[in-house]
């Protein structure tokens, strides 16, 4: 990855059918995107999961970005994350994504339940990413 410019709006994880900018300039700190339909279940059964995410900072040298969720229906009272792209330690041309986050659940939701919900969502996302990689490798 040569640059993080626009990364927040560019990252479209498999299984994230809706994602588009709603405020500011794409790739500029302060811009906000709307995402919907991801694997973390909403608080309302039957409704589509959604969030609005603000890009807080970009660091091209560190190959990282920081963002926060400013509104959502997936149980987060506050959410802030840092994503960083690291070179694989085995010397291959591959890379790893390191993803740190801090989250507080909305009132009435126990932290352990939120962690469990998030864990299920991340497992589904990881499986979809692995499937996408396998499918793209087969197409080459």
The tens digit of pLDDT for each residue in 22-47 reads 999 988 999 999 988 866 667 766 68
Could you tell me where the beta strands, DSSP code E, fall in the chain? 18-23, 32-36, 50-59, 64-72, 76-87, 95-105
* 140 residues of the chain, pLDDT tens digit each: 333 334 444 455 556 778 889 999 988 999 999 988 866 667 766 688 899 999 999 998 898 999 999 999 888 888 999 989 888 777 777 777 788 888 887 788 787 877 787 787 778 777 877 777 777 777 66
- pLDDT for 126: 76
Q: How many helices (H) and strands (E) does the chain have?
A: 2, 6
- pLDDT for 41: 66
pTM higher than 0.75: no
| Residue corresponding to tokens 């969720």 | 69
73 within 8 A of 44, measured Cβ to Cβ = yes
- pLDDT for 3: 37
59 within 8 A of 82, measured Cβ to Cβ = no
Structure tokens at 44: 């309302």
- pLDDT for 115: 79
**Residues near 97 by beta carbon (within 8 Å), at least 6 away in sequence:** 83, 84, 85, 86
113 within 8 A of 120, measured Cβ to Cβ = no
- pLDDT for 87: 81
- pLDDT for 7: 44
């Amino acid at each position: 990855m040569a640059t993080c410019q626009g990364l927040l709006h560019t990252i479209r994880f498999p299984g994230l059918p809706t994602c588009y900018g709603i405020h500011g300039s794409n790739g500029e700190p302060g811009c906000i995107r709307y995402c919907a339909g991801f694997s973390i279940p909403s608080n309302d059964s039957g409704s589509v999961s959604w969030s609005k995410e603000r890009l807080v900072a970009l660091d091209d040298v560190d190959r990282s970005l920081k963002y926060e969720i400013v509104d959502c229906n997936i149980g987060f009272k506050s959410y802030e994350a840092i994503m960083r792209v690291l070179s694989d330690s085995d010397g291959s041309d591959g890379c790893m994504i390191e993803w740190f986050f801090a989250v507080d659940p909305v009132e009435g939701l126990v932290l352990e339940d939120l962690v469990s919900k998030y864990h299920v969502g991340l497992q589904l996302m990881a499986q979809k990413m692995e499937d996408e990689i396998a499918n793209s490798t087969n197409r080459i």
